[in-house]
Amino acid sequence: MTTLLKSATIIDPQSPFHNQTKDILITNGTISEISDSITVNDEYTVVDLENLHVSTGWFDTSVSLGEPGYEERETIQHGLQVAAKSGFTQIAINPNTTPIIDNKSLVEFLINKATNSPVNVYPIGALTQKSKGVEMAELFDMQQSGAIAFGDYNKPIENDNLLKIALLYAQNFDGLVMSFPKNKKIAGEGVANEGVNATILGLKGIPNLAEEIQVARDLFLLEYTGGKLHIPTISTEKSAQLIREAKEKGLQVTCSVAVHNLTLTDDLLHGFDANVKVNPPLRTRKDVDALIAGVKDGTIDIITSDHNPIDIEDKKVEFSIAKDGTVGMESAFTALHTIFDLETIVNCMSTQPKRIFGISENSINKDQVANLTLFNPKGEFEFSEENIVSTSKNSIFIGHKLKGEVYGIYANEQLVLK
């Protein structure tokens, strides 16, 4: 199979063709030619789209799919189509299924379900058995079967010694430990950011301190043990500052932030729309500005959609009892492009996540394997339910003005266009 991408603007700082508009010829999954103009052959599949841009394929490091156990929310097969049409050639799948992904057989199940898909799947194994936070799971066995990191999705490790032991143990096989930043005792029964909006609306608040005290603890433990720690989806100014200081000390710590925590604030609580109920919660404009600054100065390494489909029965209920989570892959790029340039987006959704999670990356150059995202950065539109490809429709971005359009991907010798 030969595919020709016509007049594609290349966004790849590692490529000699960065910011240049070229024709790209892909033969049997490998880039065979890049030049100003390539003659069309009848046997070619030609992609000639308005203002076509290509970058190295995007990698979403926090994706929840329902299968196994919650197939009504999303199946793996359909979720991979969502990823492809949203521009992601690789996704890391969280272990929050039933059963929890806490052993090698379940890791292999996820990988096998994605066989022959254009999107590569990388399971995140649970750090503790059944994600209960009591006993450490079979980390080494899971890594040998394909798990790329270990963490209990949206569940903090409350036992300090357990996290200490995990950080020490994982060094034996260069494992990456993830620790969700939330102190449950301080957060209590909070359902939204503790602040003016929650107070006005009578909602129980989750203070910034609940996140920051956990981040501080984790960094103290990391300094003691060594090893590699990834702190997913931070949401406050102080968290970013603590991680910035830890990096300056030379600690091997990385972190991510969810798209919605970078672009939206807790002002959206008015209206009690359960789609805006996420974990961590939307914070204030001050926090959002600090997170944006953290992305720009390199403190925050990764931007994730934190895609989490929730069925209507768990969202169309009273705000305080609705489940946390939003679908996010479909809106990730177009929401980010309202605040960041293309190089920043590609760095935080492709280059950095692959480096941190140990995924090989190919530049856009001749004789390189083609792993590409296709998109158009121009144009504005209002995101609606019609833009949601996921089975579940719980998007936090419905009704928001977003920028650009994702066309699809080329990966694993397959072209997927919306």
Active site residues: 306
Rounded CA separation 5/7 (Å): 7
Rounded CA separation 89/99 (Å): 26
Rounded CA separation 156/160 (Å): 10
Among residues 85, 89, 84, 64, which one has the least CA distance to residue 74?
Answer: 64
3-state secondary structure of 3: strand
The distance from CA 390 to its chain's CA centroid, rounded to whole angstroms, is 16
Rounded CA separation 299/293 (Å): 8
Q: Looking at 226-282, list the stretches that DSSP marks H as alpha helix, in order from N- to C-terminal side.
A: 237-249, 259-263
Among residues 8, 86, 95, which one has the least CA distance to residue 46?
Answer: 8
CB 9 within 8 A of CB 34: no
Identity at 233, one-letter amino acid code: T
Among residues 300, 302, 160, which one has the least CA distance to residue 225?
Answer: 160
